Amino acid sequence: MNDQLPDDLTCWQYLEHAASVVFKQFGYHEIRLPVVEKTELFARSIGQATDIVEKEMYTFLDRNGDQLSLRPEATAGVVRAMLQHGLLHNAIQRVWYTGPMFRHERPQKGRYRQFHQIGVEAYGMAEAELDVEVISMTSQLWRKLGLTGVKLEINTLGSPESRVEYREALVEYYQANRDSLDADSLRRLETNPLRILDSKDKAVIELNKSAPDVIEYLDDASREHFERVQLLLEKLGISYIRNPKLVRGLDYYSRTVFEWTTDKLGTQNAICGGGRYDSLVEKLGGKSTPAAGFAIGMERLVELLTIEKLCQNRKRQDVYIVQTSEAALEIGLSLAMEMRDAGISVISNIGSTGFKSQLKKADRSGARLALIIGENELQTNTVTIKLLDNGKQYTVSIENLLTDVSSYLENTE
């Protein structure tokens, strides 16, 4: 679990801002939910036989003896809330969320016990257009962030009915090849055979090369759905690869699943995962309601943005005011208010009165401009503007200051 320090947070805020703008552009509204839910909610939705529920949840009894868990993900809680507040009845809903999630995993780079997601969920639309909408939201976000080189992998898991048949075929195949299975896969063979497909064990990876492909077991409707998803992605120019081994680690998915991966982050290479989950609402007590969504792992995306140098200069302040007397301080304070009203960020020097030490502080603050109000300036009703990037300085009259500062800030990066 990590502290998030001011220096790190500039990149986070940049990402949060960009995502909230894109989500809003697609008609999604923010929803905020508790981080604690009944354990049973996660067991029922994510699935009893998943790693998350079997061994990763922070679960405890509260003072009433209720069994609760810190949320390991947000989809289950969103469905619970939508049902509880009657938001799904004959309604199309599009929501987004962000916040901390908790999984007791083995900590390593890109895998933490408290991590953060930003994601969306949409309800009431069974069409392939929705799958493509949520995928294109992510691709629009990458564009807004300037991120290139990330890969989209997609797959289909078919309908729950067709999956029964597929599951049987897989079990048969793995039974016939038991010798190549490691202990983990042997266990999964009993509980969750689909997960053997994304095993990281060498022998199992080899075995998986000839494993039955879900595509052969799809019902017609699921096949058409998947074909339409691919067609629309192609029309939108969103490149993808079909990964028949992509099964996702949560049980609620049906039909389309997807992940965005990068080769810049080592083994924890998925920055976003999602898909369709048409049966979950009904399973949690609502009327059958189709749904789809995704969640972005923010630690991983921030790391990637940092590696790609896409977060630089985000921390910059606009202005630092240097003032060397009581009279200058008074003018400086009111100029600062005026500039902030105009949307400029201004740090007003507090404390040390020495000119040099104030300029040093201005430099360290990350400001782009220092505004100096010394004795000369006071007498001539002027302010000296020092460009902290290159040390150049010039003097302007107080009346022209706001226009000058604004146009400098607008016209330079």
List the beta strands (DSSP E) in 157-278: 241-242, 256-261, 270-276
Stretch that binds ligand HAM, among 125-133, 159-167, 290-298, 361-369 (CB under 6 A): 290-298
For residues 209 and 190, the answer to whether their CB atoms sit within 8 Å is: no
Residues 6+ positions from 309 with CB-CB distance below 8 Å:
none
Stretch that binds ligand HAM, among 26-34, 62-70, 149-157, 291-299 (CB under 6 A): 291-299
For the bound state, the minimum distance from the C-beta of residue 267 to ligand HAM, rounded and expressed in Å, comes to 12
Q: Is 124 in the site for ligand HAM (CB under 6 A)?
A: no
Tokens of 269: 């290479």
By beta-carbon proximity to ligand HAM, the closer residue of 114 and 317 is 114
For the bound state, the minimum distance from the C-beta of residue 13 to ligand HAM, rounded and expressed in Å, comes to 18
Which residues lie across from 67 on neighbouring strands? 61
For the bound state, the minimum distance from the C-beta of residue 119 to ligand HAM, rounded and expressed in Å, comes to 5
Give the count of residues interacting with ligand HAM (CB under 6 A): 27
Q: 215 burial class (0-12, 13-18, 19+ CB within 10 angstroms)?
A: middle
By beta-carbon proximity to ligand HAM, the closer residue of 112 and 142 is 112
DSSP state of 212: P
For the bound state, the minimum distance from the C-beta of residue 103 to ligand HAM, rounded and expressed in Å, comes to 5
Q: Shortest CA distance to 196 belongs to which of 161, 164, 171, 169? A: 171
Helix (H, G, I), strand (E, B) or coil at 120: strand
Q: Is 121 in the site for ligand HAM (CB under 6 A)?
A: yes
Q: Count of CB atoms within 10 A of residue 333's CB?
A: 14
Which residues lie across from 258 on neighbouring strands? 154, 274
Stretch that binds ligand HAM, among 68-76, 155-163, 214-222, 318-326 (CB under 6 A): 68-76
By beta-carbon proximity to ligand HAM, the closer residue of 45 and 323 is 45
Stretch that binds ligand HAM, among 104-112, 171-179, 226-234, 361-369 (CB under 6 A): 104-112
Stretch that binds ligand HAM, among 67-75, 222-230, 381-389, 395-403 (CB under 6 A): 67-75
Contact pattern from residue 224 through residue 263 relative to ligand HAM, giving x for each residue in contact according to CB under 6 A and a dash for the rest: -------------------------xx-------------
Helix (H, G, I), strand (E, B) or coil at 373: strand
Stretch that binds ligand HAM, among 72-80, 188-196, 346-354, 382-390 (CB under 6 A): 72-80
Q: Shortest CA distance to 215 belongs to which of 248, 243, 173, 174? A: 243
Q: Is 47 in the site for ligand HAM (CB under 6 A)?
A: no
Among 31, 132, 157, 295, binds ligand HAM (CB under 6 A): 295
Among 73, 131, 133, 377, binds ligand HAM (CB under 6 A): 73
> Which residue's beta carbon is nearest to the bound ligand HAM?
297
Tokens of 86: 């009657």
Stretch that binds ligand HAM, among 12-20, 24-32, 272-280, 352-360 (CB under 6 A): 272-280
- Cα dihedral 390, 396, 400, 405 in deg (nearest 10): 10
Which residues lie across from 295 on neighbouring strands? 119, 273
For residues 270 and 263, the answer to whether their CB atoms sit within 8 Å is: no
Q: Is 153 in the site for ligand HAM (CB under 6 A)?
A: no
Q: Is 293 in the site for ligand HAM (CB under 6 A)?
A: yes
Which residues lie across from 370 on neighbouring strands? 320, 386
Task: State the DSSP H helix or E strand holding residue 226, giving kind and residue range, or none if neither.
Answer: helix 220-236
Q: Max alpha carbon distance in the chain (Å)?
A: 93
Binding site for ligand HAM (CB under 6 A): 73-75, 103, 105, 110-112, 115, 117, 119, 121, 249-250, 270-275, 277, 293-295, 297, 299-300
